[in-house]
């Protein structure tokens, strides 16, 4: 019997099993992570090794360094996730991994590791889209959350507005035409000499500043629900350089607060407009930038005003982790979406 035939047989049995436990691996960027998730909703164990310190020196993620660190850490993360769950590899029902989008060399480490484990332990292999993983972080945070809902996914590589019609069923409503929101935060932070990744520290600094100190443009986009952050980022960087050249005294906190407000306004305006126009009466946030304190407050205020519920991942699940991949994998498994050993990394995978 081939590996795939065996997996399909197991899949049939798993469709009837009450508690399904999936071992998930995430290596799409600069976090090496593994987790064990039960029925897409419960975290049995979750471990994340962050490579940030290695990349901070270079002001951004260096793909070769990321791949090497994943190779060195991935097996240890898997062992740790199993140990914390008090389980053996034989006890898990399936193996999942992120296969895109992300850095090709980084993705390949997780995909290769998952394939080897799945083959050796005779377990089905489930490929997961990283963006879908971010959305599913909410299923781990909010037990009762169910589609349909609108979802704003904002991270270092993506800014998307989705209509989540059902589990695993997405309709894209809008997306960024240039930089992602997280990328814009990181680049704005860099001009304020905040080390990579600057988003979280810029957010903290902004809490003490005046958001009306610096007037920034609100760029126009063709698509009604599309985003554009490149012009805003350039306007901000130019304004800072200008003030420095002219020796104008300014407060970093005021600048950070002004930039953060401009990004959050844009994100919130379009997300709420889409919810209103398309009559989507439930709003969800996802991705690294969903940890932004102003975005969380602003979206809460606007959703309260519109009378719709807002769901956000808990802070520990906003950034990259494997728990969210294990959640997404469960819903894929339920639909019979498994892979064979020809699975490859897809750096430009879309949802």
Per rule CB under 6 A, is residue 26 in the interface with ligand KG4?
Answer: no
Judged by CB under 5 A, the stretch of 184-192, 206-214, 253-261, 314-322 that binds Zn ion is 314-322
Kind of pairing between the strands at 169-175 and 283-286: unpaired
Say how far apart CA 265 and CA 258 lie, in whole Å: 11
For ligand KG4 (CB under 6 A), the number of binding residues is: 19
**Is the Cβ of residue 135 or residue 291 nearer to ligand KG4 in the bound state?**
291
Q: Are strands 31-38 and 42-50 parallel, antiparallel or unpaired?
A: antiparallel
**Rounded Cα gap, residues 35 and 85, in angstroms:** 9
155 counts as binding Zn ion under rule CB under 5 A: yes
Give least dist CB 83 to ligand KG4, A.
25
Task: List the beta bridge partners of residue 22.
Answer: 37, 94
- In this structure, how many other beta carbons lie within 10 angstroms of the beta carbon of residue 271? 27
Q: Does 49 bind ligand KG4 (CB under 6 A)?
A: no
Report if residue 179 touches Zn ion, rule: CB under 5 A: no
Q: Out of 93, 132, 203, 298, point to the residue binding ligand KG4 (CB under 6 A).
A: 203
Q: Does 100 bind ligand KG4 (CB under 6 A)?
A: no
Distance from CA of residue 33 to its chain's centroid?
13
Q: Give the 3-state secondary structure of residue 49.
A: strand
Contacts of ligand KG4 in 169-198 (CB under 6 A)? 182-183, 185-186, 197
Q: Pick one of 105, 110, 124, 156: the residue that binds ligand KG4 (CB under 6 A).
A: 156
User: What CA–CA distance (Å, rounded) separates 26 from 324?
Assistant: 9
Tokens of 335: 């639909």
Q: Is 133 in the site for ligand KG4 (CB under 6 A)?
A: no
| Residue 292 interacting with ligand KG4 (CB under 6 A) | yes
- Cα Rg of the chain (Å, integer): 21
CB closer to Zn ion out of 61 and 216: 61
Q: 53 CB contacts (<8 Å, ≥6 apart)?
A: none
Backbone angles phi, psi at 2, to 5 degrees: -75, 165
Which window, 69-77, 154-162, 170-178, 244-252, contacts Zn ion (CB under 5 A)? 154-162
Asked if residue 138 binds Zn ion (CB under 5 A), the reply is no
Which residues of the chain form contacts with ligand KG4 (CB under 6 A)?
29, 155-157, 182-183, 185-186, 197, 199-200, 203, 287-289, 291-292, 319-320
């Amino acid at each position: 019997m081939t590996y795939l035939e065996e997996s399909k047989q197991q899949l049939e049995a798993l469709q009837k099993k009450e508690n399904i436990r999936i071992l998930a691996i995430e290596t799409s960027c600069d976090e090496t992570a593994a987790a064990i998730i039960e029925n897409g909703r419960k975290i049995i164990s979750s471990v994340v090794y962050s490579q940030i310190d290695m990349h901070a020196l270079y002001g951004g993620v260096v793909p070769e360094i990321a791949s090497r660190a994943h190779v060195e850490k991935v097996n240890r993360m898997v062992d740790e996730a199993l140990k914390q769950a008090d389980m053996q590899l034989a006890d898990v029902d399936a193996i999942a991994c992120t296969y895109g989008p992300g850095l090709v060399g980084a993705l390949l480490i997780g995909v290769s590791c998952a394939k080897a484990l799945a083959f050796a332990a005779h377990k089905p292999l489930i490929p997961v889209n990283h963006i879908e993983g971010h959305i599913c972080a909410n299923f781990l945070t909010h037990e009762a959350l169910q589609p349909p809902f609108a979802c704003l996914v904002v991270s270092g590589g993506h800014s998307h507005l989705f209509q989540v019609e059902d589990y695993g069923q997405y309709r894209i409503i809008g997306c960024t035409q240039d930089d992602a929101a997280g990328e814009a935060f990181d680049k704005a932070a860099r001009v304020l000499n905040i080390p990579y990744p600057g988003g979280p520290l810029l957010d903290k600094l902004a809490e003490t500043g005046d958001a009306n100190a610096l007037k920034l443009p609100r760029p126009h986009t063709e698509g009604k629900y599309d985003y554009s952050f490149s012009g805003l980022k350039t306007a901000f960087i130019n304004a800072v350089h200008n003030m420095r050249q002219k020796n104008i005294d300014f407060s970093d906190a005021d600048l950070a607060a002004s930039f953060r407000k401009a990004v959050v306004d844009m994100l919130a305006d379009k997300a709420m407009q889409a919810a209103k126009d398309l009559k989507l009466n439930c709003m969800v946030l996802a991705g690294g930038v969903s940890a932004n304190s102003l975005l969380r407050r602003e979206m809460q205020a606007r959703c309260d005003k519109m009378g719709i519920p807002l769901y956000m991942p808990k802070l520990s699940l906003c950034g990259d982790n494997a728990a969210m991949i294990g959640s997404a994998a469960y819903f894929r498994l339920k639909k019979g979406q498994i892979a064979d050993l020809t699975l490859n990394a897809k750096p430009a995978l879309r949802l």
